[in-house]
Structure 1
Amino acid sequence: MQASTARQNLVTATLLAPSALWLFIFLVLPFVAIVVFSLGERAPEGGYQAAFTLAQYANLPARATAFWNTMILAPVGAFACLVVAYPVAYYLAMRASQRWRLVLLALIVIPFWTSLLMRTYAWMYILGGRGIPALLSLVGIEDVRLINTPGAVLLGIVYGYLPLMILPIYVSLERLDKRLLEASSDLGATPLSTFVGVTLRLSLPGVTTGFSLVMILLLGEYLIPTLLGGGKVFFIGNALVDLFLQSRNWPFGSAIAVTLVLVSVAVLAIAGRVSNRLAGSRQVDLI
């Protein structure tokens, strides 16, 4: 019995070894390097100079604007995606026929076939002076500014990340046992009570999965604030690009990157705790 268990453990370890080695080389080691850089100093010519100091972390308030913009616009953008995505996912899972469901899902996924850069450039034209503002000026509404504003950034976020919010919620709703809805109705619950007490509650794992996924990606977002914010709406990703590629302050940039990773881990931990508390131990996977 012990020999069989040892053999199974050896087979499991052999199968996991390639992926574990991959993660160690391309995830753990780079993060360790960033932590080491964050404890160093900026060299006179730029880059990294060996040292052991927490001065870079003490200097984090110098980039407070980027942090505040990210901490405000990232959750607001994720919540906006949720508000738009839930009705869409609900219709796909609960109302759409099987024939049309696959077509609608394909239409949701198709935007991923095009580069986010190209899609964001399209929004730059739509929100720019030759787009919606030009149409508004034809009806007498002048001096409307849409581009280079937080609203433009939020719109780009919702457009770019909406499919990532829809799919986990759809999977959660699609797996929901419809007999629970019938039982709730038979027991005299109103449609609203059934939705809140059964549908919404049992789909919370999908909600938290989608919200966490979008939120974490937004914490490091760079492209959308750069193009639709016009350099006036800075995210942490913009600060990292500036520190590593322009001012070449690698230790300070590494300290910000480590802080960003810690915030992402905190988001995952909070989302997992909330999901387990409100909806039990149900898990939602995309596969």
Structure 2
Amino acid sequence: MAGVAASGRQRSKVAPYLMVLPALVYLGIFFVVPFVSLARTSLSTSAGSIYLPTLTFDWNFGNFGHAFSTYSDQITRSFIYAAVATVLCILLAYPLAYVIAFKAGRYKNLILGLVILPFFVTFLIRTLAWKTILADEGWVVQGLGAIGLLPDEGRLLSTGWAVIGGLTYNWIIFMILPLYVSLEKIDPRLLEASKDLYSSAPRSFGKVILPLSMPGVLAGSMLVFIPAVGDFINADYLGSTQTTMIGTVIQKQFLVVKDYPAAAALSFLLMALIVVGVLLYTRALGTEDLV
């Protein structure tokens, strides 16, 4: 009996490791191996022609300095665009998520379905639709010009605001859903208690709803900001050469110029800057309630 019990305990210790083994294998193959390969490429020197480049691994850390000094404008622009788009997503998504969580009633699922429905259309098609909407002869430009918000020869397409608008629209769903989940988890009795204590609606929002929804704000911000920084579709189709983002540079370095060390170094710089930014942001907001 003692041997059977010992064998059972041994299996119970091994079982958790066996359960996570497929995930570890998956991460090893599709994350660790490409990550190491990218790191090796970023420290290599490229030679040969553009059609048949050859890489020599020689610990060339100069790739990072060259990449940052050459494309610092695009890096800065990417972070600014992503930050502005994230703030706009919060401002637009929060009221909608609040209405769905507290005011929608039996129409809650219907509204959620309508929110999600446009995102069944592919990312590229949605971006091209925005290109049509913001076209110089489109109704948006004509309407803004008619009320004096745009000059006679003003335009929206091929501007930074068009890129930010595209980023906001394409990633706002990742702000709405986390905010809705956080708001929906708030116990309505807390709001009733604040009213019983003669708290005004704005004060109840600032003291009860907003603090309890911060995990959703934090999660949504990360889900919007991180992909927005590396986005290149919106910059390509809605912007111009003056609004190029770092994702476009990396894509062209890999696929057009074929300067693989520079592209890999830019990728690592972008990852490092994003990690630093995320750590500072989460430290400022706090993550103890984010589950």
TM-score by length of 2: 0.90
**Alpha-carbon displacement from aligned partner over 1:159-186 (angstroms, at most 9, x marks no partner):** 1111110000000000011111111221
Aligned length: 280
**Does 2:37 align with 1:30?**
no
CA change 1:43–1:194 in 2 (3 A) is: same
SS at match of 1:203: helix
1:1-287 equivalences under 5 Å are 4-46=8-50, 47=53, 48-59=55-66, 60-97=68-105, 99-131=106-138, 132-134=140-142, 142-276=152-286, 281-284=288-291
- The 8 Å contact of residues 175 and 221 in structure 2, kept in 1 or not, is answered as yes
Q: Which moved more, 1:99-108 or 1:225-234?
A: 225-234
How far apart are 1:135 and its partner, in Å?
Answer: 5.3
- In structure 1, distance between residues paired with 2:250 and 2:266: 7
Tell me how far 1:125 sits from its aligned partner: 1.1
Displacement of 1:133 in angstroms is 3.1
Sort the Cα spacing of 1:3 and 1:263 in 2 relative to 1 into closer, same or farther, 3 A.
farther
Q: Deviations over 1:123-170 (max 9, x none)?
A: 111111221335567789621211000010111111111111000000
The amino acid across from 2:258 in the alignment is R
Aligned residues with identical type, % of pairs: 31
**2:36 partner letter:** V
How far apart, in 2, do the equivalents of 1:6 and 1:186 lie? 56
Q: Distance in 2 between matches of 1:113 and 1:130?
A: 28
Q: Structure 1 length normalisation: TM-score?
A: 0.91
Quote how far apart the aligned CAs of 1:266 are: 2.5
- CA 213–136 in structure 1, closer or farther in 2 if over 3 Å, else same: closer
Q: What CA distance in whole angstroms lies between the structure 1 residues aligned with 2:220 and 2:147?
A: 40
TM-fit CA distance, 1:121: 0.8
Q: Would the aligned equivalents of 2:81 and 2:229 in 1 still touch at CA under 8 Å?
A: no
**SS at structure 1 position matched to 2:286:** helix
After superposition, the Cα gap between the structure-2 partners of 1:5 and 1:70, relative to the gap in structure 1 and judged at 3 Å, is farther
Q: Provide the rounded CA distance (Å) in 1 between the counterparts of 2:200 and 2:73.
A: 47
SS in 2 for 1:189: coil
The alignment's C-alpha RMSD in Å is 1.9
CA spacing shift, 1:207–1:138, aligned 2, 3 Å: closer
Once the two structures are overlaid, the 10-residue window that deviates more, 183-192 or 213-222, is 183-192
- The CA deviation at 1:4 is 4.7
DSSP-derived class of the 1:49 partner: strand
Query: Does the 8 Å CA contact 1:82/1:165 hold for their aligned counterparts?
Result: yes
Residue by residue over 1:211-261, the C-alpha shift from the partner in whole angstroms, topping out at 9 and shown as x without a partner, is 011000111101001100033311111010121111111111101101112
How far the C-alpha of 1:49 sits from its partner, in A, is 2.5
Q: Which runs of 5+ in 1 are unaligned?
A: none
Q: Distance in 2 between matches of 1:75 and 1:173?
A: 23
Amino acid at match of 2:137: R
Could you tell me how far 1:194 is from its partner in structure 2?
1.0
